[in-house]
Amino acid sequence: MPDPNDHSLDWVGGVSWTAARQKAARGSVEDVARITPLIDRYLSMVDIPTVGRQRVMDVCGGCPQVPAYLLGEPEHFATVRAVESESGPIRVVYDPTSSASVDAESLLKRGAAAAAFVLALSATRPVELWVTSSIDGSSVPMIRLGTSPFVTSEVAFAVGHVAFARQLIYGWGRVHTGYPGWWADWMSHGDPDVALRRAVEAQPDDVVLGPATQGSPSVKDPDGWLQDTVRRFKAQS
């Protein structure tokens, strides 16, 4: 892929296209220092309940347990029941796409908060992390960054640094999907977070962190944005 050398380094947080490729592959120790002090701040926010499936014994069900029946146990049927848990697996989908007018410094703060939130969440439960993008084109990119435990330096760059989107995702989009430099059509259909959930076919138990438009809460107040995301998630659970 050619170096899309059509913007200033200030707009991409001072990281060239070549350096962005290297950091995406190997992680960025420099960005870890921005993120680790924030992790403790979000540990109190990650008590997010999800619904899992657990095998329990009951008076009726699809699978009788003969030993329990012979012992006279009234609850001798095995069944599967939905159980709420704050330590069950959860999927996080993060969109680093932003309006071109949002400065890199604001996006670095937003990204650092999102990365710290994901790492704090992974300290208490298994987390599957995806990065997507609301760029216009022939498809919605979905990048699976893996399942916890994470390599902190990789999350620090892929989620925490503006260059991952503005250098790598946008560059990929221009070459492979005909990305013309503007938002996907579905971004204009109401709330961007709701539109993104629909575009990536998010499940009710998925945490979706949507894109950054000029003046959006995730740009003005990343802490408040994450707190509101958690409140809305708990309200719909």
Any idea where the domains of the chain sit in the sequence?
A: 9-47+89-236, 50-85
| Residue range 116-136, pLDDT digits in tens | 999 999 998 899 999 999 988
Helices assigned H by DSSP within the chain: 17-26, 29-43, 66-70, 104-122, 152-158, 162-163, 170-176, 192-199, 217-220, 222-236
Q: What is the pTM of this model?
A: 0.81
pLDDT of residue 144: 94
pLDDT for residue 11 is more than 80 = yes
Residue with tokens 């990204």: 111
Structure tokens at 152: 């902190």
Contact 236, 208 (CB under 8 A): no
Q: Do 132 and 187 form a contact (C-beta atoms < 8 A)?
A: no
- For residue 77, how many C-alpha atoms fall within 13 Å in the half-sphere facing its CB? 9
Tell me which residue of 170, 183, 165 sits closest to 1, measured CA to CA: 170
Phi and psi at residue 94, to the nearest 5°: -115, 135
- What's 56's DSSP letter? E
Most confident of 39-43, 128-132, 176-180: 128-132
Average pLDDT estimate for 200-225 = 91
- In the predicted model, what is the mean pLDDT of the chain? 86
The per-residue pLDDT for range 151-163, each reduced to its tens digit, is 999 999 999 999 9
What SS3 state is found at 150? coil
pLDDT tens track for 64-94: 888 887 888 888 777 766 555 566 788 999 9
Q: What does the pLDDT read at residue 2? A: 45
125, exposed or middle or buried, with CB in 10 Å at 0-12, 13-18, 19+? middle
Strands 90-94 and 77-85, bridge-based pairing: unpaired
* β-sheet with 77-85: strand ranges across: 50-58, 77-85, 63-64
The two beta strands, 77-85 and 50-58, are antiparallel
